[in-house]
């Protein structure tokens, strides 16, 4: 394997890694040699995945964690620190939840559920992982956000709110922690086929509306997002930080001829790259 594309010797924590996009991310990073710790809220599913990964020869361990819980987040990071001798190369904040409702029907519990799971977990796990990432000398954080955090999309105002906040968190941390050798990027997928999203495709009207605004005319696959996350990791290890910029307009500009209004036309995935001097 070309050493430029190897993750041998690298350590990673992937949240929500037993299913969907998280599962694909674990397999992608592990296939390039990374040693990974996975957390998930489902003990049954996690144990099943750990058995599968062991059979594939992947170096993956796991623990049960509800990332919306502060005590469980702290316990998770203590576990990771002990396992990787106080150093962590990669953190993938992947966990995400959605309750799709009209804004007028959301209640306080819905708000807390989205904020604590999607946003608080990413914020505090990034904070808790900072000393481990800094100790590695070239730490990398990847936020699994959503295109709904970039443009208007029918996936619930609370979900979009948290994903937009994750993108801004990535930009802020990229500048603040660059001098610590830690790089932060955000991947913003469009509709991806997984257990959380697939039930919405049963609504023929929703499916037609979604695909009509997607140039490829289909939903994305988890492995496509995983490849982009891996690209972010490689980019982090080899790129020279020069100036702040956000790379996300390119995907929209490719379809700008379709209409003067760009927002409805969504590509399979945006990549928000946050580089700070």
For position 237, what pLDDT does the model report? 53
Q: Tell me which residues are annotated as active site.
A: 159
Residue 2 lies in a domain: no
C-alpha–C-alpha distance, residues 6 and 32, integer Å: 5
Q: How many CB atoms lie within 10 A of CB 252?
A: 16
For position 256, what pLDDT does the model report? 33
Residue 213 lies in a domain: yes
Counting residues of the chain whose pLDDT is more than 90, the rounded percentage is 58
Count of domains forming the chain:
1
Residue 125 lies in a domain: yes
For position 274, what pLDDT does the model report? 55
For position 39, what pLDDT does the model report? 98
Residue 270 lies in a domain: no
For position 146, what pLDDT does the model report? 87
Mean pLDDT over the full length of the chain: 83
Question: Residue 13: pLDDT above 80?
Answer: yes
Give the confidence band of 221 by pLDDT, cuts at 50, 70, 90.
confident
Give the confidence band of 199 by pLDDT, cuts at 50, 70, 90.
confident
Structure tokens, 105: 């029907």
Parallel/antiparallel/unpaired status of strands 35-40 and 11-15: parallel
Query: 116-156, pLDDT tens digit by residue?
Result: 999 999 999 999 999 999 999 989 999 999 888 887 777 78
C-alpha–C-alpha distance, residues 77 and 135, integer Å: 14
Structure tokens, 153: 């999309």
Contact 22, 95 (CB under 8 A): yes
Distances (CA, A) of 250 to 99, 132, 207, 276: 30, 34, 25, 19
Parallel/antiparallel/unpaired status of strands 269-274 and 182-189: antiparallel
Residue 268 lies in a domain: no
Alpha-carbon Rg for the chain, nearest whole angstrom, is: 18
User: What 3-state class would DSSP assign to 196?
Assistant: coil
Residue 267 lies in a domain: no
Nearest C-alpha neighbor of 138 from the set 90, 88, 182? 182
Give the confidence band of 95 by pLDDT, cuts at 50, 70, 90.
very high
Question: Whole-model pTM?
Answer: 0.85
For position 241, what pLDDT does the model report? 41
Query: 145-192, pLDDT tens digit by residue?
Result: 988 888 777 778 999 999 999 999 998 999 899 999 999 988 888 778
Residue 81 lies in a domain: yes
What one-character DSSP code corresponds to residue 48?
H
Residue 154 lies in a domain: yes
For position 215, what pLDDT does the model report? 72
Domain boundaries, position 69 = 11-260
The CATH number of residue 116's host domain is 3.40.50.720
Regarding predicted confidence, which is higher, 211 or 37? 37
């Amino acid at each position: 394997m070309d050493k430029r594309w190897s993750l041998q010797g690298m350590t990673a924590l992937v949240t929500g890694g037993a299913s969907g996009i998280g599962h694909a991310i674990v397999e992608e990073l592990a296939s390039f040699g990374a040693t990974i710790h996975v957390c998930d809220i489902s003990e049954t599913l996690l144990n099943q995945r750990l058995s599968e990964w062991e059979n594939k020869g992947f170096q993956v361990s796991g623990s049960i964690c509800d990332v919306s819980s502060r005590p469980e987040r702290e316990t998770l990071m203590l576990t990771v620190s002990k396992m990787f001798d106080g150093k962590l190369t990669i953190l993938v904040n992947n966990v995400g939840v959605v309750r799709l409702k009209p804004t007028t029907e959301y209640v306080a519990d819905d708000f807390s559920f989205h904020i604590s799971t999607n946003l608080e977990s990413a914020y505090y796990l990034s904070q808790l992982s900072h000393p481990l990432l800094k100790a590695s000398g070239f730490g990398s954080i990847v936020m699994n956000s959503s295109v709904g955090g970039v443009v208007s999309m029918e996936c619930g105002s609370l979900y979009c709110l948290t994903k937009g906040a994750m993108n801004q968190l990535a930009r802020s941390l990229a500048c603040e922690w660059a001098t610590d050798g830690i790089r932060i990027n955000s991947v913003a997928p469009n509709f991806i086929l997984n257990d959380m999203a697939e039930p919405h495709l049963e609504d023929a009207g929703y499916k037609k509306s979604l695909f009509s605004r997607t140039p490829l005319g289909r939903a994305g696959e988890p492995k496509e997002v995983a490849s982009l996350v891996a690209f972010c990791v490689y980019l982090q290890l080899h790129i020279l930080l020069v100036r702040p910029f956000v790379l996300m307009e390119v995907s929209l500009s490719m379809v700008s001829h379709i209409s003067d209004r760009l927002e409805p036309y969504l590509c399979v995935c945006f990549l928000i790259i946050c580089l700070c001097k």
